[in-house]
Amino acid sequence: MITYTPEQHDVLSHLMNPENTGITLVSAGAGTGKSWLSRRVVEELKPKRCLYTAFNKAIVQEGESRFRGTSTECKTLHALAYSYVRPKGSISDISYGCIEEDISYNLKYLIITGINRFFVSDSVNAYEFMEEHFEGEDHEKMLAELSVKYIEKMANKELDPTFNFLLKYFHLMLHEGTVTCKYDLVILDEINDTTAVALEIFKLIDAPKKLGLGETHQAIYDFLHLVNGFELLKDADLFHLTQSFRCSEEIAGRIEKFMKLDADDTFKFVGTDEPVRNGKTLVCTSTNASIVAHIQDCLDRKKGFQLLRKISEIFACPLAVTSASAGKAVYQKKFKHLEDEYKNWNNNRRRGYSYFQHLLDHFDDQETVNAVQLLLNFQRKGINIFSLYKKAKESNVDLNYTIATVFTSKGLEFETVLISDDLNTRIAKIRENGGVRNHDDLVAYRCYYVAASRAGVNLLNATALY
């Protein structure tokens, strides 16, 4: 016999009532069983066609095994959009090499950023969006016109589309009624971290019942310009799950106190007397640069490890910065602009002013700043980043010892979690400045909550919780 907590029972009872149509939201704390509950919802409702989707591809892949044997299609919204848009040719990122006009890198960067922001927005008018987006910028009219020009090139198949173009095109098709997308039930997971366009697609899909799963306190992807469905769907029916089946009572109690004192005095999080004991350890960081530092430590100790992203992606920025600092070509497409920055620095070079310092003084991009600080630290220790990269690629793999950022480890569970110093330092600085004062500070607390709540039994170096 299946037993439910009172909170889970309330969700199921609501969804089983045929009169309750539209969107239902479930705010589910870390490890509170939302994945298990979503399977039970499908089994109880027995929809002929069900769609389970999320912004994150890894989450959808997990769903494939969870919903096996049911009528559920597990697809990212990008995959769903692809099946309707059916583009000809390849899907590609738009880079500054795609912009034909003879203008500066900075202007090209603004155009590319504007295009990407439009694609993930809820807007249905590109020119109106660009006019507002570039308002106050130098050359704002030119920037808006060129941005629309390259969007139209994608629409006219003169330029390879991006994945996010597919989402926007699908959104416009649904908005204009040129296609119909029908299901009996749609489940959008991690609705707290999704794009505005994905949320619009979720709303426009023709389905009598829709279920949004996630938690506001786990909305941590602001840097990707995602939106929180709990904040934007205020008219939806809302339920809460607060009983964790992952964290021990002791860990959950410390997390609850931490969040209540500084972030949200209504926060509730209850642990279990049977926490997760899977023998797995996570070293949880906030940045790729910190992952690289932990990799160096593992290599020194001859300790194996596993990563949750490609090692080339984790090392990409410090490798690119190092190449550019030597006046060499940067092979990582995302960081080609560092070559231009090297030329700017070299043309205006002054005694004692290094390229690294130039980047720290002129770049707001946190990834680049973190990479430079890592490289300066490695310089003092005599560590060569290219040699480290080569050794890391050849290192032993230990599937029970994971090094990952809080962003890639979200949704996973471990018996032991070691909190990296960069997460602790961020909380310490917020407290030194008088506590949570803005949204960025609040997101830092959410990141810490997500990191700490990966742990079942052992939570190490979690100094911010003391």
Transcribe 391-437 into DSSP letters. Answer: HHHTSPP-TTEEEEEHHHHTT--EEEEEE-HHHHHHHHHHHHTTS--
Q: pLDDT class for 64, splitting at 50, 70, 90?
A: very high
Rounded average pLDDT over 98-121: 92
- How many structural domains is the chain composed of? 3
Query: Percentage of the chain surpassing pLDDT 90?
Result: 87
Is 80 in the same domain as 13?
Answer: yes
Is 354 in the same domain as 430?
Answer: yes
Is 151 in the same domain as 175?
Answer: no
Residue 117 lies in a domain: yes
Specify the pLDDT at position 433: 95
Enclosing H/E stretch for 214: strand 209-214
Of 209, 224, 241, which closes a domain?
241
Specify the pLDDT at position 22: 97
- Cβ(107)–Cβ(150) under 8 Å? no
Q: pLDDT class for 201, splitting at 50, 70, 90?
A: very high
Is 106 in the same domain as 203?
Answer: no
Of 213, 241, 269, which closes a domain?
241
Q: How many residues does the chain have?
A: 466
Residue 258 lies in a domain: no
- What pLDDT digit, counting tens, does each position of 391-424 carry? 999 999 999 999 999 999 988 999 999 999 999 9
Burial of 410 (0-12, 13-18, 19+ CB in 10 A): buried
Is 421 in the same domain as 364?
Answer: yes
- What pLDDT digit, counting tens, does each position of 179-199 carry? 999 999 999 999 999 999 999
Is 27 in the same domain as 148?
Answer: no
Of 214, 241, 268, which closes a domain?
241
Q: Does the pLDDT at position 239 exceed 70?
A: yes
Specify the pLDDT at position 213: 97
Range of the domain at 22: 6-84+171-241
- What pLDDT digit, counting tens, does each position of 121-131 carry? 999 999 999 99
Is 77 in the same domain as 123?
Answer: no
Q: Does the pLDDT at position 105 exceed 80?
A: no
Q: Does the pLDDT at position 222 exceed 90?
A: no
Predicted model pTM: 0.87
| AA letter at 98 | C
Residue 451 lies in a domain: yes
Specify the pLDDT at position 89: 79
Which range (86-95, 286-295, 308-317) has the least confidence? 86-95
Q: Does the pLDDT at position 282 exceed 80?
A: yes
Residue 64 lies in a domain: yes
Q: Does the pLDDT at position 1 exceed 70?
A: no
d(CA 100, CA 107): 12
Residue 260 lies in a domain: no
Residue 166 lies in a domain: no
Q: Does the pLDDT at position 237 exceed 70?
A: yes
Q: Does the pLDDT at position 364 exceed 80?
A: no
Residue 347 lies in a domain: yes
Rounded average pLDDT over 284-305: 97
Residue 73 lies in a domain: yes
Is 231 in the same domain as 101?
Answer: no
Measured at the alpha carbon of residue 305, what is the angle toward residues 378 and 447, in degrees to the nearest 5? 75
Nearest alpha-carbon partner for 196 in 119, 128, 129, 134: 119
461 or 54, greater pLDDT:
461
Rounded average pLDDT over 134-145: 96
d(CA 63, CA 69): 12
Is 51 in the same domain as 153?
Answer: no
Q: Does the pLDDT at position 321 exceed 90?
A: yes
Query: Percentage of the chain surpassing pLDDT 70?
Result: 100
Is 353 in the same domain as 459?
Answer: yes
Is 213 in the same domain as 104?
Answer: no
Specify the pLDDT at position 340: 85
Is 69 in the same domain as 116?
Answer: no
